C-alpha cells in the first residue's frame, strides 16, 4: 500500500508539473502575441480609431473651417500644407499619433477668424478623419487623447522600415543593377537598418539575405568601383529618403558580398 501511495503521489507531482509547464508556455505565447499586437510601430495598422469617429471628424473638418486653409480636398493651399499623401507622411512619419493630436489640439487653427471652435474632443475626431484619409484602417476602439495604447502608435507607411526615418544613415543589401539609361539601383534589397559608419572592405554581410525592396542609388562615384559589381550582391550604406513612389539612397559606401543567385 505504501508503495502504491508513493506511486500515486509521484504521478500526481508529475501531472502537476506538466500542467504548470503547459500553463507557463501558454502564458508566454499569449504575452508574445500581445507584445506583437502592442508594438507601437504596428499598432496604427491594427486600427486606433473608429469608423464613427471618422464620420464625425469629416463633418467637423468642414464645420471647424479646416478646409479654408488646407482645402476641402486636403491638398493644401498657399497658406497651409496638404493633409494627405506624401506631404503629410513626409512630415509625420515616425512621429506618434499623440504628437499629431497635441499639435492639432494646441496649434490649430492658427487664425481663429476663419474657424469655429469644435473643442478638444472634436479635434480628436478630426485627427481620426485625417488618418483615415491617409489610408489607416479603423478599429474597434475610439481614439482618445489620454489613451496610451493609441497615442503611442507610430505614424508610418505601410512598408516602412521603422527606425529608419528620412535622412537616416542606413545599410541595405541587394543586387546591384545598372539600367540602360545609366541609372543605378539595388534590386531585391533587404530592409534598411540604421548604422553609423559606411561599409568597408572588412564588412561581413554575406549572411544577410535579400528582400523585396528597390532603392534608387544617388551619387555613385567612381571610388565605389560600382561597374565591377553589376549583378552581384552588395552591401551599401547611404542617406535614405523615401516617398510614396520610390526610395533613394545617397551612397556613402558599397562593397560586394556575394552572389545574387540565391
- Contact by Cβ (8 Å): 208, 235: yes
Domain boundaries, the chain: 43-151, 169-258
Return d(Cα 125, Cα 123) in angstroms, integer. 5
User: In angstroms, rounded to a whole number, what is the distance separating the alpha carbons of residues 51 and 242?
Assistant: 29
Measured N-to-C along each axis, helices 119-133 and 51-63 cross at an angle, to the nearest 10 degrees, of 110
For residue 230, list its beta bridge partners: none
CATH class, range 43-151: mainly alpha
- The domain made up of 169-258 has a fold known as OB fold (Dihydrolipoamide Acetyltransferase, E2P) (2.40.50)
| Cα three-residue angle 83-85-87, rounded to 5 degrees | 65
Q: Cα separation of 117 and 105, whole Å? A: 11
Distance CA 54, CA 150 (A): 15
Q: What are the residue ranges of helices labelled H in 152-231?
A: none
DSSP 209-239: PP-SEEEEEE---GGG-GGGGTTSEEEEEEE
Q: What is the pLDDT along the chain (262 residues), one digit of tens a residue?
A: 555 554 455 444 434 433 333 333 333 333 333 333 445 667 888 899 999 999 999 999 999 889 888 988 898 887 789 998 888 887 887 788 988 999 999 989 887 655 678 999 999 999 999 999 999 999 999 999 877 667 788 887 775 545 567 888 889 999 999 999 999 999 998 878 888 788 764 444 445 678 888 999 998 888 888 999 999 999 999 999 988 788 999 999 999 988 887 6
Q: State the cell numbers at 232.
A: 552581384
- Count the Cβ atoms, other than its own, within 10 Å of residue 38: 14
pTM: 0.51
Q: Which residues contact 248 (CB under 8 A, 6 or more apart)?
A: 215, 216, 217, 218, 240, 241, 242
Amino acid at each position: 500500500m505504501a508503495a502504491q501511495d508513493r506511486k500515486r503521489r509521484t504521478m500526481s507531482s508529475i501531472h502537476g508539473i506538466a500542467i504548470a509547464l503547459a500553463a507557463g508556455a501558454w502564458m508566454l505565447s499569449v504575452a508574445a502575441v500581445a507584445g506583437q499586437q502592442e508594438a507601437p510601430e504596428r499598432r496604427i495598422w491594427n486600427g486606433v480609431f473608429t469608423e464613427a469617429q471618422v464620420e464625425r471628424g469629416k463633418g467637423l473638418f468642414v464645420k471647424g473651417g479646416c478646409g479654408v486653409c488646407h482645402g476641402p480636398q486636403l491638398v493644401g493651399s498657399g497658406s497651409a500644407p496638404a493633409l494627405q499623401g506624401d506631404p503629410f507622411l513626409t512630415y509625420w512619419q515616425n512621429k506618434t499619433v499623440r504628437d499629431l493630436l497635441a499639435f492639432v489640439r494646441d496649434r490649430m487653427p492658427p487664425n481663429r477668424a476663419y474657424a469655429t471652435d469644435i473643442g478638444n474632443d472634436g479635434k480628436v475626431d478630426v485627427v481620426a478623419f485625417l488618418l483615415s484619409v491617409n489610408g489607416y484602417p479603423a478599429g474597434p476602439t475610439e481614439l482618445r487623447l489620454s489613451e496610451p495604447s493609441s497615442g503611442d502608435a507610430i505614424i508610418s507607411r505601410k512598408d516602412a522600415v521603422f527606425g529608419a526615418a528620412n535622412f537616416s544613415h542606413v545599410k541595405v543589401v541587394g543586387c546591384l543593377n545598372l539600367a540602360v539609361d545609366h541609372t543605378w539601383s539595388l534590386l531585391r534589397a533587404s530592409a534598411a537598418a540604421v548604422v553609423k559608419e559606411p561599409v568597408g572592405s572588412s564588412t561581413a554581410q554575406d549572411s544577410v539575405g535579400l528582400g523585396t525592396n528597390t532603392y534608387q542609388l544617388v551619387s555613385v562615384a567612381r571610388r565605389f568601383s560600382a561597374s565591377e559589381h553589376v549583378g552581384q550582391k552588395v552591401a551599401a550604406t547611404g542617406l535614405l529618403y523615401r516617398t510614396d513612389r520610390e526610395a533613394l539612397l545617397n551612397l556613402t559606401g558599397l562593397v560586394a558580398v556575394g552572389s545574387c543567385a540565391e
